[in-house]
Structure 1
């Protein structure tokens, strides 16, 4: 539900009663992943989406029913339903959805408000809810923070809350949303539990080196994809707010020096658009030694060959060189800055999701790749 955190937090602040439907798990070609949510308030207003349109009507009705009877329920939709073309996923997928009522007096209300407030403010947060287990545990929620502290509860069992907090904390560390099964060993509850853990972490960074016109277009695309975008250039006349109004940060510094000093992680994307050896080579020496998600550099094939030669002379290993995506971008025949930014973004998405970049018309593989991504619900 973190994908509609802002709207839900406003509803809670206004005192509205609502029901929220959350995707628990998907199979096949389902358009939305775990954590995607649709909410309906007592006036019938709806926000969000769980399927891109395939089952929205049926889920809307389930939310209304949950508001009436106050019961949490999990329903499955998919091509196996007898009325598949009426409410199922006609694209061939299966989707499990949990619908939770959040009335004015619901015990879970304060926990959700705290969790959603943290998400809105950009704080790392995990929310664990029971999706399969004893009926009296459905509808409970446990908010877990990075330091291991937690708030809320699942059935008033301290040992269960501690176990769930540990599992949710592990997914929060990885920035992942998904289901977790607790063993049916009787220590928590007979038969075990299945939990949905939704994680929200700060958006992944995109650092664009080189304050050129192509960078301006890439900044816009990077923001559209949900990145926190920084532009870095050593030339103050070019690295200005007027040229990059949509960037989150503009840094005037030598690129390699800035990269050494700034925080990066396994989700960070580095795009080197300077294509000038005095900037590129020292910058890529640093970049290729970092455990980041993507390192790409702009330039012609001749520039790329010269760049590789210089990097080898600087001592960069063949293994690290193999990580460099250069010339950056997929072959779209791009010419304009906007088209070039699109080609770069397409390669970043393909690398992140495990895609090939081949037209779907020419493939017989599943459209939605089953890869785990640490950027998820931003």
Structure 2
């Protein structure tokens, strides 16, 4: 649901009735991961996607059914060997989808979660997607500061949802959590879907060059909050980098020292100048960052390694440096080179090889490092009051 937070928050504020289908679990090769969502309002307007196209019509009908009945549904879609035209995933995978209606004046915790997903600190939303019929769709929204809103009738279940939401929010991940004994005495187990919406990851680009401008564009397109930093004010200007979230005039290493960075941050060093890149890399390679890459030829890379070793950077730290930066795409223009840099960042983020898919085996769509692996929900549709 939080996958479509911005437009759905607007729908909720307008008092529009809509239903949201959210991917709960994935097995095998599937186009989208848990948390991917598709929404349909009472007029039939559609937002988002759960499968990239192959089961969208069936999910559309489920959303309409949920709106008409006011009930939640769980549905599994998979490939059918017997009937190639059956509703299913032609890629051979399997997805579990949870459909929930959101009606005007009901579920304020969902409205608050949708609005809060755009906040700088992010939120997490935990919902019951499998278990007793009467509990399906009950939810808790929690903010980074610990405050929360619940739409849950049972205090013990509210505490369980809150605990699950906190854990996933801390990791910025989305997935399911199975809970057996969630209160004292006999109780049916429940499965929670927890979606975390966190601020976008940062991409720090050092060196205000033409290549940097192309990297900024592709980084912003991929959803990064991009910063350009250069010590030369004549080059580091807003006019040259309109897509950047910020343009900073400062020495790169000094700017890095002022930042609170998380393990999702990527750093691209494009300065071509030793006085800028060496002190910067000494610091960056000792920080728990997602990616640190530096531009240069193979010869300049070897010289850079030697100078960094002389400065006390260890071999283990140097092993984290991606240089020469980028995948081998053969590109020559700034845009082509930026594409190769972005491709390496994405491949590293998901633990992928960067090789052509035609020359590899195994699943094409994998559970990325930023996504918590999940267990499939119930295989049959289960109706319940939302």
TM-score range, shorter chain: over 0.9
Match of 2:274 among 277, 280, 305: 277
Q: Is the 8 A contact 1:159 1:188 kept in 2?
A: no
Q: Which residue of 2 aligns with 1:234?
A: 231
Q: Is the 8 A contact 1:234 1:255 kept in 2?
A: yes
Cα deviations across residues 7-66 of structure 1 (Å, max 9, x unaligned)? 111111111111111111111111011111111111111111111001000000001111
In 1, Cα distance between equivalents of 2:198 and 2:354:
28
Q: Secondary structure at the match of 1:358?
A: coil
* Residue ranges of structure 2 left out of the alignment (5+ in a row): 373-386
Matches within 5 A, 1:228-267: 228-267=225-264
Match of 2:212 among 206, 209, 215: 215
Q: Which residue of 2 aligns with 1:310?
A: 307
Match of 2:150 among 125, 141, 152: 152
Q: For residue 103 of structure 1, report the CA deviation from its aligned partner.
A: 1.8
- CA distance change for structure 1 residues 2 and 134 in 2, over 3 Å: closer, same or farther? same
Aligned-CA RMSD value = 1.7
Matches within 5 A, 1:77-96: 77-80=77-80, 83=83, 85-96=85-96
Instruction: Tell me how many residue pairs correspond in the alignment.
Output: 373
Matches within 5 A, 1:292-303: 292-303=289-300
In 2, Cα distance between equivalents of 1:63 and 1:84:
24
Q: Secondary structure at the match of 2:226?
A: strand
Match of 1:121 among 109, 115, 119: 119
Q: Is the 8 A contact 1:184 1:190 kept in 2?
A: yes
Q: Which residue of 1 aligns with 2:284?
A: 287
**Larger relative contact order (C-alpha < 8 A, sep ≥ 6)?**
2
Q: Is the 8 A contact 1:267 1:374 kept in 2?
A: no
Q: Which residue of 2 aligns with 1:99?
A: 99
Q: For residue 2 of structure 1, report the CA deviation from its aligned partner.
A: 1.5
Q: Is the 8 A contact 2:160 2:182 kept in 1?
A: no
* Residue ranges of structure 1 left out of the alignment (5+ in a row): none
Q: Is the 8 A contact 1:38 1:49 kept in 2?
A: yes
Match of 2:365 among 360, 363, 368: 368
Matches within 5 A, 1:323-342: 323-342=320-339
Q: For residue 189 of structure 1, report the CA deviation from its aligned partner.
A: 6.0
Q: Is the 8 A contact 1:148 1:166 kept in 2?
A: no
In 2, Cα distance between equivalents of 1:44 and 1:371:
32
Q: Is the 8 A contact 2:351 2:369 kept in 1?
A: no
Q: For residue 248 of structure 1, report the CA deviation from its aligned partner.
A: 0.3
Give the TM-score normalised by the residue count of structure 2: 0.93
Q: Is the 8 A contact 2:127 2:139 kept in 1?
A: yes
Q: Is the 8 A contact 1:266 1:291 kept in 2?
A: yes
Q: Which residue of 2 aligns with 1:140?
A: 138
Cα deviations across residues 134-163 of structure 1 (Å, max 9, x unaligned)? 111112111011233220233x11122112
In 1, Cα distance between equivalents of 2:212 and 2:317:
25
In 2, Cα distance between equivalents of 1:74 and 1:36:
15
In 2, Cα distance between equivalents of 1:245 and 1:136:
51
Moved more, 141-150 or 7-16: 141-150
Q: For residue 187 of structure 1, report the CA deviation from its aligned partner.
A: 3.0
Q: Which residue of 2 aligns with 1:41?
A: 41
Cα deviations across residues 283-303 of structure 1 (Å, max 9, x unaligned)? 000000100000000001111
Give the TM-score normalised by the residue count of structure 1: 0.95
In 2, Cα distance between equivalents of 1:189 and 1:50:
35
Q: Secondary structure at the match of 1:72?
A: strand
Q: For residue 266 of structure 1, report the CA deviation from its aligned partner.
A: 0.3
Q: Is the 8 A contact 2:175 2:371 kept in 1?
A: no
Q: Secondary structure at the match of 1:232?
A: strand
Cα deviations across residues 197-216 of structure 1 (Å, max 9, x unaligned)? 00000000000000000000
In 2, Cα distance between equivalents of 1:204 and 1:8:
22
Q: Secondary structure at the match of 2:85?
A: helix
Q: Which residue of 1 aligns with 2:69?
A: 69
In 2, Cα distance between equivalents of 1:149 and 1:102:
22
Q: Which residue of 2 aligns with 1:6?
A: 6
